[in-house]
Amino acid sequence: MAVLIDIDDAEDPRLSDYRDLRDVQLRKNLEAEHGLFLAEGEKVVRRALETGFPARSFLMAPRWLDGLADVLATSDAPCYVMPESLAEQVTGFHVHRGALASLERRPLPSVESVLAGARTVVVLEDIVDHTNVGAIFRSAAALGVDAVLLAPRCADPLYRRSVKVAMGAVFTVPYARLEDWYDALPQVSAAGFTTVALTLADDAREIEQAVAGLDRVALVLGSEGHGLSPRWEQSADRRAVIPMREGIDSLNVAAATAVACYLTMRR
Amino acid sequence: MAVLIDIDDAEDPRLSDYRDLRDVQLRKNLEAEHGLFLAEGEKVVRRALETGFPARSFLMAPRWLDGLADVLATSDAPCYVMPESLAEQVTGFHVHRGALASLERRPLPSVESVLAGARTVVVLEDIVDHTNVGAIFRSAAALGVDAVLLAPRCADPLYRRSVKVAMGAVFTVPYARLEDWYDALPQVSAAGFTTVALTLADDAREIEQAVAGLDRVALVLGSEGHGLSPRWEQSADRRAVIPMREGIDSLNVAAATAVACYLTMRR
**Interface contact flag, A245 B143, Cβ < 8 Å:** yes
Q: Which CATH number is B56's domain given?
A: 3.30.1330.30
Of B222, B84, B105, nearest to B163 by C-alpha is B105
**Pair A111, A176: CB distance under 8 Å:** yes
Interface probe with B: pick from A262, A263, A264, A266, most Cβ of B within 10 Å: A262
Whether A97 shows a pLDDT value over 70: the answer reads: no
Q: Are residues B200 and B151 in the same domain?
A: yes
Task: Report the C-alpha gap between B171 and B242 in whole angstroms.
Answer: 29
Angstrom distance (rounded) from CA B147 to CA B186: 17
Q: Verify whether the Cβ–Cβ distance A139 to B262 is below 8 Å.
A: no
At A28 the pLDDT is: 81
Contact B259 A262 (CB under 8 A): yes
A255 and B255 within 8 Å at the Cβ level: the answer is: yes
Contact A251 B143 (CB under 8 A): yes
The 3-state DSSP class for residue B19 equals: coil
Residue of A167, A248, A253, A266 to mutate, interface with B, max B Cβ within 10 Å: A248
Q: Are residues B9 and B57 in the same domain?
A: yes
Instruction: Look at strands A99-104 and A55-60 and give their pairing.
Output: antiparallel
B167 vs A: CB within 8 A = yes
Distance CA A164, CA A128 (A): 16
Give the residue among B111, B162, B132, B147 at the shortest CA–CA distance from B222. B132
Coil/strand/helix, residue B214 = coil
* pLDDT tier at B30, thresholds 50, 70, 90: confident
Q: Considering only CB atoms, which chain B residues are within 8 Å of A256?
A: 258
The answer to whether residue A167 neighbours chain B at the CB level (below 8 Å) is yes
| pLDDT tens by residue, B130-149 | 999 999 999 999 999 999 99
Last residue of a domain, one of A79, A104, A129: A104
From the list A135, A140, A124, the residue with the least C-alpha distance to B244 is A140
**Are the C-beta atoms of B43 and B118 separated by less than 8 Å?**
no
CB contact under 8 A, B245 and A141: yes
Asked if A126 and A223 count as a contact pair (C-beta separation under 8 A), the reply is yes
Strand, helix or coil for residue A4? strand
**What is the distance between the alpha carbons of residues B126 and B224, in angstroms, rounded to a whole number?**
8
Number of structural domains chain A divides into: 2
Q: CA geometry: angle at B262 spanning B179 and A144, to 5°?
A: 110
CATH of the domain at B138: 3.40.1280.10
DSSP state of A52: T
User: Is the Cβ pair A135, B255 closer than 8 Å?
Assistant: yes
A189 and A260 housed in the same domain = yes
ipTM: 0.90
Q: How far apart are CA A53 and CA A104, in angstroms?
A: 6
Put simply, whether A176 touches B (Cβ < 8 Å) is: no
> Is the per-residue pLDDT at A239 higher than 90?
yes
d(CA A243, CA B216): 20
Are A221 and A198 contacting, i.e. CB atoms less than 8 angstroms apart? Answer: yes
pLDDT of A151 strictly over 90: yes
Residue A150, beta-bridge partner list: A124, A177
- B7 and B86 in a single domain? The answer is yes
From the CA of A248, how many Å to the nearest CA of chain B? 6
**CA dihedral over B70, B76, B82, B87, signed as positive or negative:** negative
Confidence at residue B70, expressed as pLDDT on a 0 to 100 scale: 95
pLDDT higher than threshold 70 for residue A99:
yes
Give tens-digit pLDDT for A18-74.
Answer: 988 888 887 887 787 789 999 999 999 999 999 999 999 999 999 999 999 999 999
- The residue in chain A having the minimum alpha-carbon distance to the alpha carbon of residue B260 is A259
Q: Tell me how far the alpha carbon of residue A59 is from its chain's centroid.
A: 22
Contact flag A244-B143 (C-beta cutoff 8 Å): yes
Mark residue B92 as left, alpha or beta (left: phi above 0; alpha: psi -120 to 50; beta: remaining). left
Minimal CA–CA distance to A160: which of A2, A44, A13? A44
Residues of B in contact with A250 (CB under 8 A): 142
DSSP type of residue B95 = -
pLDDT at A248: 66
Check whether residue B56 and residue B128 sit in a common domain.
no
Same domain, A92 and A121: no
Residue A211: give the domain boundaries.
111-265
Report the Cα A164 to chain-centroid distance in Å: 9
Q: Which of A252, A257, A261 to mutate to test the interface with B (most CBs of B within 10 A)?
A: A252
Interface test with A, best of B242, B251, B257, B264 (most A CBs within 10 A): B251
Return the minimum-mean-pLDDT range out of A128-142, B23-37, B155-169, B202-216: B23-37
Residues A73, A170, single domain; the answer is no
Residue at which a domain ends, from A81, A104, A127: A104
pLDDT mean over B94-106: 86
Same domain for A119 and A235: yes
Q: Please compute the mean of the pLDDT values over residues B35-43 and round it to a whole number.
A: 92
Judge contact between B184 and B220, C-beta under 8 A: no
Same domain, A10 and A26: yes
B99 and B123 in one domain?
no
Alpha carbon distance A36, A38 (integer Å): 7
3-state percent breakdown (helix, strand, coil) of chain A, nearest 5: 40, 20, 40
Q: Which of residues 194-213 of B touch A (CB under 8 A)?
A: none
Asked if A256 and A239 count as a contact pair (C-beta separation under 8 A), the reply is no
> Between A142, A252, A259, which is nearest B245 by CB?
A142
CA nearest to B264, candidates B139, B155, B174: B139
* Residues A235 and A151 grouped into a single domain: yes
Amino acid present at A224: E
Let me know: does B128 contact B223? Beta carbons within 8 Å. yes
**Contact assignment for B144 to A249 by CB distance below 8 Å:** no
**Which residue among A143, A167, A249 sits closest to B249, beta carbon to beta carbon?**
A167
CB B224 within 8 A of CB B132: yes
**Shared domain check, B175 and B72:** no
Identify the domain boundary among A49, A82, A104: A104
- Average predicted confidence (pLDDT) for chain A: 92
Residues of B in contact with A169 (CB under 8 A): 248
